[in-house]
Amino acid sequence: MVVDQIHDLQQVYRKILHSMSRPGNISKLNSITEKMNEEFPCNHAFLLSALTFIDAEVTFHVIANQEKKARLTEIISSYTMAKTEAIDKADFILMLQDAPEYQIEKAFIECKTGNLHDPQLSATWIVECDLLSNSTGLSLNGPGINGAQQLQTGLHHSFWQKRNEKVNEYPLGIDVILADFSSQVACIPRTTSVTITEVS
């Protein structure tokens, strides 16, 4: 991998920050993912998002099928020195596209949402998805959005239903970073109201 840990990850951070402050706004990471020639168990934008925020100070938990889970856990640990942790303690939940439904459900039930004194002690989800676009699927409202924003994530509507349940008690909740196979990222923080407009 020829990703520059200083300058490339700074670029990724700025793109994710831009997308997090403007929910549903899609940012492209092509200029950086082009340099990545290795095969990973996840897409390149997903890996870059994880490398930007994870280090030895935080913990993570991978939800994916057994084989990919082991490989990705090893890769993230060796690149970042971070430790994997149980879902209810992990700071980052890394969810791959082929994650089994029961594992996603378990993660939604157990993951951290912070507490009223420290709502920042919540899990950030990095989610791999097929293709992000600003066509209909989800209608987003809230801080960072001028009016309304459309987002199509390709994720099953049950994912967004569970996410909505998880952010019901604002300021408690989870923040989601979505990374697709076309090197794009988009974010949905806990403040965003997500309405499912199309049932997939």
Partner 1 sequence: MITKPHFAFFDEGSKKEIRRATLKAVAIPGYQVPFASREMPIARGWGTGGLQLTLSLIGKDDVLKVIDQGADESVNAVSIKKLVRHTTGVSVTEDTGEANIIQSRHRIPEKQLREDQILVLQVPNPEPLRKVEAREYLTKRMHAEDDYSGAWLLLFEQIMKYGRMSTGAEHPVYVNGRYMMTPSPIPRFDNPKMHQSKALILLGAGREKKIFAVPPYTDVKSLAFDDYPFAVESFEGKACKLCGSTDVFLDEIIDPDTGERSYQCNDTSFCMEHLNAKEKEEVENSYV
3-class SS at 134? strand
Least distance to partner 1, CB of residue 119, Å? 6
CA atoms within a 13 Å half-sphere pointing along the CA-CB vector of 24 = 24
Total residues interacting with partner 1, rule: CB under 8 A: 39
State how far the Cα of 42 lies from the Cα of 71, in Å rounded to an integer. 10
State how far the Cα of 200 lies from the Cα of 194, in Å rounded to an integer. 15
Least distance to partner 1, CB of residue 67, Å? 29
Least distance to partner 1, CB of residue 126, Å? 11
**CB closer to partner 1, 56 vs 109:** 56
Interface with partner 1 includes 170 (CB under 8 A)? yes
Interface with partner 1 includes 156 (CB under 8 A)? no
Q: Could you give the angle at the alpha carbon of 129 between the alpha carbons of 136 and 111, nearest 5°?
A: 105
Interface with partner 1 includes 119 (CB under 8 A)? yes
State how far the Cα of 59 lies from the Cα of 91, in Å rounded to an integer. 5
State how far the Cα of 181 lies from the Cα of 189, in Å rounded to an integer. 21
The binding track of 34-63 with respect to partner 1, each residue x by CB under 8 A or -, is ------------------xxxxxxx-----
Interface with partner 1 includes 66 (CB under 8 A)? no
Q: Which two tokens stand for residue 12?
A: 């990724």
Least distance to partner 1, CB of residue 59, Å? 12
Backbone angles phi, psi at 43, to 5 degrees: -75, 165
- Over its C-alpha atoms, the chain yields an Rg (Å, rounded) of 16
**CB closer to partner 1, 85 vs 103:** 85
Interface with partner 1 includes 113 (CB under 8 A)? no
Binding residues vs partner 1 (CB under 8 A): 5-7, 9-11, 13-14, 16-18, 20-22, 52-58, 115-120, 122, 124, 143-146, 170-171, 175, 189-191
